[in-house]
Structure 1
């Protein structure tokens, strides 16, 4: 483990040096993500200007859900964004072969091969949303709750990674599963809102099939007393661990099924 941490440090430092060579491009990427996220939040604010609550959830409670979702997704966006490209960048043209002849885990190499600067913008807007929401919510913060929030955000990021890895692994059979990955990832937008506003079927889908509910709504529910889902919310770290295990197991199946494009 320590070897991989040291290796990742070298990869990460090298990627940052490359990004800093094109600082304007870096800043434009960060700003564009902030602008996109702000536009979504502005739309929610416009809706709440017309209503007092959304199925019992206030604007700042929804903003709190948004903040957890954005901050958790930023972990995936910054460190694991290369999972999107497995099919078209590595498998389709045979580039994946070089990962198989190097003395490191192929999945680690894919992940470490890219740092996405746009994710820093998502992290910034996520933290801003969280701090803004927290300042307007009557939550009594203790050291335990702060640590719980950190665990929830890390778990949110882990679920995003697990779902993306699972569907990106389909590229070993399909050559490029990007359309499926993009389609599934769009489902995460539902989790930015209280799941109680959706039908039972959608809630079940986002809880037990594609567990995006554990990237935002359930983690936020752990801190909102009237949510009614505080007990389910405490399952978030467990769901994150199980999801990652399933995704990695599926990755192993895909890796064994891989045949080079030259075979």
Structure 2
């Protein structure tokens, strides 16, 4: 509880600082809203031209798009410190100061900046989510709503883990790691569509190595109430988001190993 209180204080101070420049905040948030809106317009254009995507209707794919964008917006908002870790903390030696404080480095980096501008992507995702839910006439029972919440928790843990993993690799390579951008931002783009449309090798990688499908495709198939073309069982679909939480625990252990290899700047 004390850790949550400290993080809450970090977040409150970050929000106050950003809201001192409200015009800049509004412009950034609107920019996020419009940029994600362009992505959705591209998706609409695809379905307007071809009608469906291997049997998936536009409203169903829009549901995937909306949920994964809301998940990513939350994860990205609390991971700003990890996203900038290599250039801001390792190269300058600022990470030394974090290590001297009697608090977890992960807590301090998570509280580095609560990126309020991500509310633009979140708002756009929520609008699409409401539209898709109404179009699909989803019956929101307590069970279905609980599964969606469980999916969001697993998804946020998964994307936060990717940002932490990128920061961890900075202990060995302080330059920008485009490979991790492929997994984080590229994973966001891939998860906006049903995993069944991709090739077998791609699906296996994003299920058994990097569990992207477990926090997006499998549980959302269950929420939509459609039969999975890949043949997954209902039980697995319900349990799948747990792999996102497990992935975070594994990455935190890797992070702790990375700290042992941190040698500072020598300045």
TM-score range, shorter chain: over 0.9
Report the equivalent of 2:244: 240
Q: How does 1:85-234 map to 2 (within 5 A)?
A: 85-188=84-187, 189-228=189-228, 229=232, 230-234=234-238
CA contact (8 A) 1:77 1:118 kept: no
CA contact (8 A) 1:85 1:178 kept: no
Q: Per the alignment, do residues 83 and 227 of structure 1 end up closer, same or farther by CA in structure 2, a change over 3 Å counting?
A: farther
Tell me the SS of whatever aligns to 1:226. coil
Deviations 1:238-260 (A, max 9, x none): 20121011110000000111111
Q: Distance in 2 between matches of 1:196 and 1:203?
A: 8
Measure how far apart 1:177 and its partner are.
4.6
Kindly indicate whether the alpha-carbon contact (under 8 Å) linking 1:168 and 1:177 is maintained by their aligned counterparts in 2.
Answer: no
Partner-residue secondary structure (3-state), 1:8: helix
| Cα displacement (A) at 1:72 | 0.6
Separation (CA, whole Å) in 2 of partners of 1:65 and 1:141: 16
User: Following superposition of structure 1 onto structure 2, how do residues 62-81 of structure 1 map, counting pairs within 5 Å?
Assistant: 62-81=61-80
Offset at residue 133 of structure 1 (A): 0.5
C-alpha deviation, 1:173, in angstroms = 1.2
Q: Quick one: structure 1 residues 83 and 155, their matched pair in 2 at CA, closer, same or farther if it must change by over 3 Å?
A: same
| Alpha-carbon separation, structure 1, partners of 2:175 and 2:75 | 20
Structure 1 range deviating more: 79-88 or 212-221: 212-221
User: Gapped runs of 5+ residues in structure 2?
Assistant: none
SS of alignment partner, residue 226 of structure 2: helix
Deviations 1:16-39 (A, max 9, x none): 111111001111111111101111
TM-score, normalised by the number of residues in structure 1? 0.94
Q: TM-score, normalised by structure 2?
A: 0.93
Matched, 1:261 2:262: no
Within 2, Cα distance between the matches of 1:34 and 1:134? 20
Q: Which residue of 1 aligns with 2:30?
A: 31
Deviation (angstroms), 1:126: 1.5
Mark the CA change 1:227 to 1:125 in structure 2 (over 3 Å): closer, same or farther: farther
1:145 shift after superposition: 1.3
Contact 1:88–1:176 (8 Å) recurs in 2? yes
> Distance between the aligned counterparts of 1:247 and 1:177, measured in 2?
19
Cα RMSD between the aligned structures?
1.5
Structure 1 CA distance for aligned equivalents of residues 215 and 118 of structure 2: 16
CA distance in 2, matches of 1:117, 1:227: 37
- Compute the displacement of 1:52 (Å): 2.6
SS, match of residue 54 in structure 2 = coil
How far is 1:70 from its partner? Answer: 0.5
CA distance 1:59–1:207, shift in 2 (3 Å): same
